[in-house]
Structure 1
Amino acid sequence: MLALMQLVFHFVFFKNQSDLLLALSDWQFVLLVVATVCIAAAGYVINNIMDQETDSVAKPNEVVVGKHLSESLAYNLYIGLNIVGVGIGFYLSNLIGKPMFSSVFIIVAATLYLYATSFKQTLLIGNIIVALLLGLSVIIVGVFDLFPVTFDENRIQMAVYFSILTDYALFAFVLNFIREIVKDIEDMDGDYNAGMNTLPIVLGKERTAKIVFFLTLVPIALLLLYINKNLLTLEWVMYYLLLFVTAPLLYFLIKIWSAKTKKDFNHLSLILKLVLLFGILSIVVITVNMKLNA
């Protein structure tokens, strides 16, 4: 999903803007995606290592580390993925003449480690970190693809593209923050046994579900305002977002109010993942619609 988001922006949206100068060639951008995915995968591995006790209770059939993969091999995989990700990030940063940009990859890798080992046990901090990192994966496209070739002559044009990236990053952040809370409700029993301090453990499932209900009003409101402000002239985009993004969110809103079982919350987590996917693919619809209107 993360890779798709980045690839769609570069190869579909940016590459179809005839007057847009990009800092990275296609193969260099693919390297950026590989670096991002490697660091995200490393975060997933270290999280699985630290979650062995929790997962054995919450989802025993999905346990990987300690069951299908030894802990020592998992640690080696974690280190290897981080080396590849940070190494590629260092190479690309120097390639575009911005060596300090490599620190982004180091900071993200370190944050994911801290998340897995300590932050996720703190109320809401872990949820915010994961959501922020997903939003950052959108912003980093602009940091590497647009910022190095932004000059006085094209600053206004680049600001427009950065604004679009920021809008998508904000939407991804809000949506993923909500999904992380839903996953906490789903994993509540395992988290409780592991001594976690998540929102559903503090407030209970029903109260947390009601909070999620009101939080979900935020992306729906943002989406409707965005459509009204920017997309009324792009009819196909407007219909697409209403049908494939807004409608599933409204369905989620109705279902979360009465959700009670682990199966219910697992289903709702999947709905949010699909909303995120359709949100990403809206870039394709926007690009095609702009081409037809040109």
Structure 2
Amino acid sequence: MKYLKLIRYQNLLLLAFMQLIFRYGFLKLQDIPLALNHFQYGLLVLSTVLIAAAGYVINDILDQETDYDNRPNSIIVGKTISEKAAYNFYFILNITGVGIGFYLSNVIQRPSFTGAFIIISATLYMYATSLKQMLLIGNIIVALLLSFSVLIIGLFDLLPATYDGNRAEMGILFSMLIDYAVFAFIINLIREIVKDMEDVEGDYNQGMSTLPIALGVIKTSRVVFGLANFSTLILFWYINTYLMGNALYFAVIYGFIFVVAPMIFFMIKIWNAKSKEEFHLLSTVLKWVIFFGILSVLVINLNIHYNAKG
């Protein structure tokens, strides 16, 4: 159980669920060929999860002093797992994840795609060692990595199955993946800043440079409010243009209840939030926004099929 806590298994389950939803709740419902079979796609999900898990491990190894300030009750490395054992676990996760990526890249006859797994692994290491200490850079890196876990589905499952006869259709589906990747990036970027607000005291003691340290918590909350407001306006536009415009009313209701409403709640609360407990709650709200936002791709597809039968 201590190793499951070390790799943040709840977050990894969410990541795996997200990738499975895109495959089986979106792409498999379309009348298109896909490059990977079920087993190979499972390996793609496993590879992504293993490399992400390695990122959590190396982050905990190198972040022990900060964690003693920010969350002393949840420390694992150096307390229940030795640093040496954690490093060995990190190498096993990374080598296995990249190795699976190498195999899949050759399966789709794109051996150069192995570089994507190597770059992600290296970036997570650089994030833990130096990038997270740079103003906003670390936040952007983490948000980009989550969005890339959406785009990698298109690279491995759509792109190799694309030919002249289905290029236009595949392009539309890939563009939808890009839309969701952008959504994941923006919401996760906001969430990372909120987590920095929650950890501001410990980060300051360790000499880190985060937005709350540079601007102060109050000004950062205004910046986050602005980003959340911008994101919510985009959601309104997207729902009105693509869901209302295509009479996907069930998806519209779902979007307002499970995505837009939590964002409005977030904006109301972030304006005056000051305590660690409030920031932790708001971070959790954004995690659920990402979850329900990703799940909407299944809701939209079911709504489309229901309309077609009606």
Determine the structure 2 residue equivalent to 1:169.
181
Q: 1:21 aligns with which of 33, 36, 45?
A: 33
Give CA-to-partner distance per residue, 1:187-210, whole Å, 9 cap, x none.
011111111000111111111111
TM-score by length of 1: 0.99
**Among residues 146, 162, 165, which one is paired with 1:134 in the alignment?**
146
Deviations 1:34-83 (A, max 9, x none): 00000000000000111100011101011111111110111011100000
Match of 1:190 in 2: 202
Q: What do residues 174-232 of structure 1 show as CA deviations (whole Å, max 9, x unaligned)? A: 00000000000000111111110001111111111111000101210111111111111
Consecutive unaligned residues in structure 2, runs of 5 or more:
1-13
Cα distance in 2 for residues equivalent to 1:110 and 1:175: 24
Is residue 67 from structure 1 mapped to residue 79 from structure 2 by the alignment?
yes
Which one is further off, 214-223 or 179-188? Answer: 214-223
* Aligned counterparts of 1:284 and 1:154: Cα–Cα separation in 2: 22
* Distance (Å, rounded) in 2 between the aligned partners of 1:12 and 1:251: 28
Q: Can you list the C-alpha shifts for 1:74-103, whole angstroms capped at 9, x where unaligned?
A: 101110000010000000000010000010
Please tell me the residue identity of whatever aligns with 1:290: I
Alpha-carbon RMSD: 0.7
Correspondences of 1:107-146 after superposition (within 5 Å): 107-146=119-158
Identity, % of aligned positions: 58
Runs of 5+ in structure 1 lacking a partner?
Answer: none
Q: Which residue number in structure 2 is paired with residue 6 of structure 1?
A: 19
- SS across alignment from 2:36: coil
Distance (whole Å) between structure 1 residues aligned to residue 40 and residue 92 of structure 2: 21
Instruction: Compute the displacement of 1:290 (Å).
Output: 1.4
**1:91-137: CA deviation from partner (whole Å, max 9, x where unpaired):** 00000100000100000000000000000000000000000000000
Of 201-210 and 130-139, deviating more is: 201-210
1:204-215 residue pairs with structure 2 within 5 A? 204-215=216-227
2:274 aligned partner: 260
Which residue number in structure 2 is paired with residue 42 of structure 1? 54
1:156 aligns with 2:162: no
- The match for 1:78 is 90
Deviates more, 1:227-236 or 1:34-43: 227-236
Mapped to 2, the partners of 1:144 and 1:120 lie a distance apart of: 29
Amino acid paired to 1:64: I
TM-score normalised over the length of structure 2 = 0.94
Taking the aligned partners of 2:89 and 2:297, their CA distance within structure 1 comes to 34
Distance 2:17 2:304 in 1: 21
Residue 250 of structure 1 pairs with residue 231 of structure 2: no
| Count of aligned pairs between the two proteins | 293
- Which of 39, 44, 56 is residue 68 of structure 2 equivalent to? 56
